[in-house]
Structure 1
Amino acid sequence: MLWAGGGVLVLLTFSAFFSGSETALTATSRARMLALEKDRDHRAARVNRLIADRESLIGAILLGNNLVNILASSIAAAVFLTLFGEAGVPIATLVMTLLVLIFAEVLPKTYALSNPDRMALAVSWPLRFFVFLFAPVVAAVQTLVRATLRLIGARVEGPVLSAHEEIRGQIDLHHQEASLVKTDRDMLGGVLDLRELSVVDIMIHRKNLIMLDIDAPNRDIVETALNSPHTRLPLYQGDPENIVGVLHARDLARALHQAGGDPDALDIAAVMREPWFVPETTQVQDQLAAFRTKREHFALVVDEYGALMGVVTLEDILEEIVGDIEDEHDVSVAGVTPMADGFVLVDGATPIRDVNRALDWSLPDSEAITLAGLVIHEAQTIPETGQVFRFHGVQFEILERKRNQITRLRVKADRGEADAAL
């Protein structure tokens, strides 16, 4: 009888070990383990090897846990049958359920959740042994399970989420738990967004460009360039579509100094730089790499027909990560202005991404780049001043319109209303 009680105690200890190990290795931080492995911590290296083959790891843990639990229950049933006869089976079931629940499940899992990294490091060596020991049986079970799942048409491929989605989810989770401030979340999210954006999403539209006619008088070119808030200006000849170069304010100032301050003595064609054209489909991440490779900060964006669409700069890309960058030469333009009544005034040309970042909204930006474009896309018409729309849980009121362009809106979160136009 004594040996039976000792055997059950030992088996419950093994059950607690397997249960706690499963929770610890599931909850442990892979980033922390990778950092420890780089510091030559052999236990962390073992943890990473175990986690790398998660299916074999879980299979070994479940096999070991079920073996010890079933064996412990069988021994307890035999003991209670001897003591209480036929009533021993329900008694053994009740007693073992309480023992397994409290000491082999809740207790070790609670500790593992509180100390996942510490416990994962502690159990890595013995668990590695059990994974090796149970490998043949686990492999056979995996084969049977996969065959059964395929028969019923279930998906058995790899993880559903990509690495970037996993990272984004972690960032949002930490922000919700108040361990990551909004500014940091936006910056980290901006880095991940670079591969999902093309240059057309962040470029300065040609409508807002300051361009110079190379055939204009030198004095006019110099005056416009030096008074411009931009340091790089496209030069065209004859037709604004015919871009022949880019004039850099620093190159112009240097040439003007060498000419003794006389604009008429300048050769603009000799001062300008070669234009760099990039297709509108270029990913922002690729453009950033190209800027670094060519050591350039300015490129002209063209569509599939070669028509100029706008320009993209290194600053535009950096602003996608850190937010708006304003220097002493920037012209202040109203973009998003919160009001005391809960509404927000927004320029129609404000990018949807900037609105989402400023107001912590999730308006879709797949069909339109600007807020005005989103309203036109959803309304399927060019709205009149005073019209009010509700899309995606937000109320949009048209305040100003010039020709066919929406220039100013008043918006407010209105998630309780159905999408409609008033």
Structure 2
Amino acid sequence: MNDAPLGLLFAILAALILLSGFFSSSETGMMALNRYRLKHLQQQGHKGALRAGKLLARPDRLIGLILIGNNLVNILGSSIATVVAIRLYGDAGIAIATILLTIVILIFAEITPKTIAAIHPEKVAFPASIILLPLMKLAMPLVWSINAITNGLLSLLGFKTNAANEDELTQEELRTIVNESGGLIPRRHRSMLVNILDLEQVSVNDIMVPRNEIYGVDLDDDDETILKRLKSSTHTLVPVFRGDINKIEGILHLRNLGKCLDGDGLNRTSLISELQEPYFTPENTALHIQLRHFQQRKLRLGMIVDEYGDIMGLVALEDILEEIVGNFTSNLVEDQEEIATMADGGASCTGSIPIRDINRQFGWSLPTDGPKTISGLALEALEAFPVGPASVRIGAYQLDIECVEGNAITQVRVTPMTATPPSDDAI
């Protein structure tokens, strides 16, 4: 090598630096590949993704191959650079070669190629796999030997190199991926996907229609009253009971209403025969489970019962779907609930409005781990039933009881405060 022309040595040195850059960029590109996009491309039959997938099936071998190649060309390049520097500058050339070669390798074989690979991993990794895959087969004995030694050392240190890596995602990680997808997924679709993930954290209690607001038919009423309620119903499925909702007889589908009428008006015998058997679901059932139950039983309405078997309210399939896609139909309540936006940024709403609805509409964070309605939240904070207008602070929100009728808070004004309260949840 001492007798080789300097031009040839410089050419070999340049080629080695390029090879070093190739191995460096390949390592970064392969490791920076999005594993889920890679699986998608593999399913689509993308050749580059298929090659990269084979290499990444054993990342320890891939890293071993790349590092063997990278260190080999770097050490060889260092030897040639030393020879060239000594021939040009004598003994001082050793220091000069070390400094110059370090700078050249850092710029052209490390930082630049790795930065490009980190920005465009697929454009680097997929073409590189054309070379790396056959190179892996050729160098397999050497790679296997070195990996056997390194894996043995790792085992002594307590690392399990053969542990399965399924690239599993937690629910929070998946939510982050959806939210960070940007323009790749439309905003409305992102919201729906996140709502689906949240079904597991929401129970039927959170979206139920309370028992005192259930629109139903009492068989103890006279025929005229029953017919009037059936004809004025805005709901397809109507609970039918005797005297009290706990004595429910069944669910009437209004498409069968014609079968319940005869020339004299209401035919109670036909009405009872057309009733569907009521379906009961325990309180605190998660929405994703309830949705599956509805699907399996081909039902759309369930009566929510507590541990004593008393009916607490009802949940409809539409209520669960609204949790995913947003409001698109009316609730099964007698009077439509309203939320009025105030000029100061607050809201005036009926006491029975669900806390989750007002949080969703205004982007607030009123606590939902206790009472489910805004009136229940106010009562919990007051710790006594108000005899007239009253105010209470909960976190960063002030609740003003505007109207009380009998034993129910019927109107509440909620105002977000600019300053956070000092300590207690309720003042």
Whether 1:144 and 2:153 are equivalent positions in the alignment is yes
Shift, 1:27, TM fit: 4.0
The counterpart of 2:310, out of the listed 307, 310, 324, is 307
Q: Is the 8 A contact 1:214 1:268 kept in 2?
A: no
> What letter corresponds to residue 197 of structure 1 in structure 2?
V
Which residue is 1:42 aligned to? 47
Q: Structure 1 residues 18 and 371, CA, compared in 2 at 3 Å: closer, same or farther?
A: farther
Q: Corresponding residue for 2:260?
A: 255
Q: Which runs of 5+ in 1 are unaligned?
A: none
What is the TM-score of this pair, normalised by structure 2? 0.78
Amino acid at match of 1:148: L
Q: 1:218·1:268 contact (CA, 8 Å) conserved in 2?
A: no
* SS of equivalent residue, structure 2 residue 181: helix
Summarize the alignment of residues 11-90 of structure 1 with structure 2, pairs less than 5 Å apart: 11-51=16-56, 53=58, 57=62, 61=66, 64-65=69-70, 68-69=73-74, 72-73=77-78, 76=81, 80=85, 88=93
Please show how residues 92-171 of structure 1 align to structure 2 within 5 Å: 92-129=97-134, 133=140, 134-138=143-147, 140-145=149-154, 147-148=156-157, 162-171=169-178
Structure 1 pair 271–127 and aligned structure 2 pair: CA distance change class (3 A): same
Q: More displaced, 224-233 or 309-318?
A: 224-233
- Which residue number corresponds to residue 397 of structure 1? 399
Q: Of the candidates 408, 411, 414, which is equivalent to residue 412 of structure 2? A: 408
Q: Is the 8 A contact 2:397 2:416 kept in 1?
A: yes
Partner of 1:33, secondary structure, is helix
Size of the aligned set, in residue pairs, is 410
Determine if contact 1:210/1:233 at 8 Å carries over to the other structure. yes
Paired position in structure 2 for 1:196: 201
Q: Tell me if structure 2 keeps the 8 A contact 1:56–1:139.
A: no
Distance 2:420 2:99 in 1: 50
Counterpart CA distance in 2 for 1:382 and 1:87 is 91
CA contact (8 A) 2:260 2:266 kept: no
Conserved 8 A contact 1:389-1:419: no
Deviation digits for residues 137-160 of structure 1 (CA, Å, limit 9, x no counterpart): 345434533643569xxxx99689
Amino acid of the structure 1 residue aligned with 2:14: L
Change (3 A) 1:49 1:214: farther
1:322 maps to which residue? Answer: 325
Structure 1 Cα separation of the partners of residues 367 and 58 of structure 2: 37
Aligned partners of 1:274, 1:99: CA distance in 2, in Å?
81
Structure-2 change in CA distance of 1:383 and 1:237 (3 Å): closer
Post-superposition shift, 1:297?
1.1
Do residues 284 (structure 1) and 287 (structure 2) align?
yes
What code does the residue aligned with 1:126 have?
A: I
> In the aligned structure 1, how far is the partner of 2:216 from the partner of 2:245?
8
In 2, are the aligned partners of 1:219 and 1:264 still within 8 Å (CA)?
no
Equivalent-residue separation in structure 1 for 2:346 and 2:109 (angstroms): 55
1:341 aligned partner: 344
Label 1:165 to 1:123 Cα distance change in 2 as closer, same or farther (>3 A).
farther
Distance 1:386 1:253, change over 3 A: same
Deviations 1:239-295 (A, max 9, x none): 432322112222223432xx2471156533212111111222433223223322322
Query: Considering only CA atoms, is the larger Rg found in Structure 1 or Structure 2?
Result: 2
1:95-120: CA deviation from partner (whole Å, max 9, x where unpaired)? 33432332223322343344333333
Counterpart position of 1:295: 298
Q: 1:328 to 1:207 in 2, by over 3 A?
A: closer
Q: Quick one: which amino acid aligns to residue 333 of structure 1? A: E
Residues 119-138 of structure 1 show CA distances to partners (whole Å, capped at 9, x for unaligned) of 33222343445666335534
Distance 1:371 1:215, change over 3 A: closer
- Contact kept in structure 2, 1:346 and 1:408, CA below 8 Å: yes
1:350–1:327 CA distance, 2 compared to 1 (3 A): closer
How far apart in 1 are the matches of 2:75 and 2:179?
42
What do the CA deviations read for 1:211-258 (whole angstroms, capped 9, x no partner)?
A: 3323332332222222122222222235432322112222223432xx
1:109 match: secondary structure: helix
2:174 counterpart letter in structure 1? I
Q: Within 5 Å, which residues of 2 pair with 1:155-234? A: 162-175=169-182, 180=185, 182-234=187-239
- The alignment-based identity, stated in percent, is 34
* TM-aligned CA distance change 1:86 to 1:169, over 3 Å: farther
Cα distance change, pair 71–374 in 1 and its aligned pair in 2 (3 A)? farther
Check conservation: 1:241, 1:308, Cα contact below 8 A: yes
Corresponding letter in the other structure for 1:400: E
